[in-house]
Structure 1
């Protein structure tokens, strides 16, 4: 008798990921019933590594379209459910019991999963549709930021009895969105090229306008980015998550223009939307910084406290809280906030620097010197030599002697 179909198929598309793939595959071994890796042209031994780790390896020539490649990987899946990860993502072990419960559901088509953006300076969480039933009418679309949402909407229109749910527990850890990774791989230009090709055929699509507009804002092309974001907002998209991203990135653009009122408006619009609270953490953080600049320190403190109520491990919220507390003269409380930020993020150079300032104001000069020395070391290690030199010169001007190592 033939073996029954595996319950869960894991699918990934890869290219030159020998440094990261092992962690990804190890996180799903013993969870998924089959591991499928589609290689799109590696030259570094990635396919061989995947095979050694128990994956079925298939090959597919890269065609400048992530959706086509992802759908090709799905064609090999035999499970009733599919879990999709990238090589720079891992399934969190604490999510596995929840995952097994989800797979037992009979009336759900797909689940949206919360992803932790490891090392992200602003938004530590995002939402991805990566767990879904294996059926031919559920497939990826869009050449960049490929997603199943378009096909899922079509299936639900035909079969309204099926459900889609967002799982609030963090499921995936992702290391690929740090600025260092983006610059190392020249992803900004690559992403813009693929998304522009899609936008040429779908000029009013709010999702691509959101992603592409955010990309241009990040790259410093504010005029082009704002045009795309405003165009999408004018269309009043009905998806709250897309609305949130549009307002969030429009606020960032306004801040870069010095339009504080406009930025505050868009952050407030974003925070009022019905999306998961962890997804709002970047907006809480940025709005707190904005209120601080405007002298509204109590408002900044309140937003930091809201963010920490959502995620008590959010180091940058403690850092912003320390800034606002210091501005109100609460130096002891500010010290505690900075120290908590450092506990959570031991290489937080700015937290060390501002903790040194507070210690100096409290007369703890020896401790301040130690902390300032560490801040200088971190600035230099993180390729910020100008910040390190400015701090060093400022301390010399104050007559502070730093410890020698």
Structure 2
């Protein structure tokens, strides 16, 4: 079976080479649709032997993706964005899966690099080239609508999911979001679609979540609740609706409602990796309520699902510290730092825990690292921590560094 990479791009000269290099051992054809690049994107695509076409952007991702599909000639299609790369370990599994004559769609697990809270998503980006399989929705374009319609007519097809991480996505890093003004663009496109599809659960979920991010809480809650009333909702969408409502009710200080929504999210029949955010936030609610044993179990469940979940180790460390289990807490903070070396909060809490057991020199080194990281990530927090240490007599304001004699 032959497979094409299919991508729409604009001004992606920096990201595109990594994307294309990541699939070179898998794909037989590269199809690139450029939507108006003014940098070297076109030259980069040509250097990889891509079949290149041009398209005038119309503010609709589905239309652009479908245009790109028109140029594909292979049996299978892998759709990636320029800020995504394929995980090499997944290539043998993909090669084996596309040999199955009954598979129509192979869902892929994507890791959201820089998304500390919910680091995974499941996306339908690997599928058989079929005239009925097309993208819909102008933003967060998906093939799911057309696939569901096709299955009603040709019910022999199967949809499967690969449980291992297949795609690394760098587009949710804060610098990328800020530079591309993604929030404003997404809001405009999705609001236009919502006007004609007011009860669509998928768009209610995506736009409702965006409203929460830009502090339009009332509008976000209304949309998310509306989405849950839709008659037919995919479990993954149901999970996200409950998860985002849990976040919204935390902002509204209604912790009981938040906990109920996180529990409903966890109950959905989806891949465990997708539930990390709900387990983590439920654990935080339980910790705040003083139910430390239950909070501990929630975090441990998240870490059993994903042993590389740095935020889970950090929060478990806080829970253990509150329970007085300092050695265990220190081990959790150290594991979080090992997984995420620039984790300023983990260094700060590690410093607190070490100080409590009398390891002053090690504690101050952790605090010094936390201040250095906060200085670039969150300067007010760096100043607050430094002032607190000065008041405790642990920091030298004249030298702006920890007192060397405390390390002797």
Q: For residues 268 and 357 of structure 2, what CA distance do their matches in structure 1 show? A: 42
Structure 1 residue 44 and structure 2 residue 39: aligned? yes
For residues 225 and 389 of structure 1, the distance between their equivalents in structure 2, rounded to whole angstroms, comes to 34
Name the residue aligned to 1:276: 271
- The answer to whether structure 1 residue 116 and structure 2 residue 111 are counterparts is yes
Alignment of 1:303-382 (within 5 A): 303-382=298-377
Q: Tell me how far apart the structure 2 counterparts of residues 353 and 98 of structure 1 sit (CA, whole Å).
A: 41
Contact 1:38 1:58 in 2 (8 A): yes
Residues 226 and 250 in structure 1, CA contact (< 8 A), matched pair in contact too = yes
- State the alpha-carbon separation in 2 of the partners of residues 176 and 47 from structure 1: 20
2:104 is equivalent to residue 96 of structure 1: no
Correspondence list, 1:284-295, <5 A: 284-295=279-290
| Per-residue deviation, 1:238 | 3.3
Quote the Cα distance in structure 1 between the aligned partners of 2:234 and 2:241: 11
* SS of equivalent to 2:108: strand
Matched, 1:403 2:402: yes
Aligned residues: 399
Q: CA deviation at 1:404?
A: 7.4
Counterpart CA distance in 2 for 1:23 and 1:364 is 44
Q: Secondary structure in 2 aligned to 1:390?
A: helix
**Counterpart residue number, 2:257:** 262
Pair 61,183 (structure 1): closer, same or farther in 2 beyond 3 Å:
same
Q: Distance in 2 between the 1:139 and 1:112 partners?
A: 15
Whole-Å Cα distance in 2 between the matches of residues 316 and 130 of structure 1?
Answer: 28
Q: Deviations over 1:42-94 (max 9, x none)?
A: 11111111111221211101100000100111100000000000001011000
Which aligned pairs between 1:4-403 and structure 2 lie closer than 5 A?
Answer: 7-382=2-377, 384-401=378-395, 402-403=401-402
Q: How far, CA to CA, are the matches of 1:103 and 1:110 in structure 2?
A: 9
2:114, 2:174 within 8 Å by CA — same for their partners in 1? no
Q: Do the aligned partners of 2:201 and 2:233 also contact (CA within 8 Å) in 1?
A: no
**8 Å Cα contact 1:237/1:243 also seen in 2:** no
Match of 1:3 in 2: none
Contact 1:291-1:300 at 8 Å conserved across structures? yes
Give the superposition deviation at 1:300. Answer: 1.2
Q: Tell me, in whole angstroms, the C-alpha distance in 2 between the residues paired with 1:251 and 1:399.
A: 41
Name the SS for the 2:402 alignment partner.
Answer: coil
Deviation at 1:30, TM superposition (A): 2.5
SS at match of 1:31: coil
User: 1:278 Cα deviation (Å)?
Assistant: 0.1
Q: 5+ residue gaps in structure 2?
A: 396-400
SS of alignment partner, residue 336 of structure 1: helix
Q: Is the 8 A contact 1:35 1:55 kept in 2?
A: yes
Describe the shift of the 1:404–1:66 C-alpha distance in structure 2 as closer, same or farther (beyond 3 A).
Answer: farther
Matched residue of 2:125: which SS? Answer: strand
How far, CA to CA, are the matches of 1:93 and 1:30 in structure 2?
Answer: 9
Q: How far apart are 1:242 and its partner, in Å?
A: 0.8
How far apart in 2 are the matches of 1:205 and 1:305?
A: 35
Deviation at 1:236, TM superposition (A): 4.9
State the distance in 2 between where 1:237 and 1:395 align. Answer: 55
Contact 2:8 2:68 in 1 (8 A): yes
Structure 1 runs not aligned, ≥5 long: 1-5
CA-to-partner distance for each residue in 1:91-145, whole Å, 9 max, x for gaps?
1000000000111010111111110111112001001000001121101001000
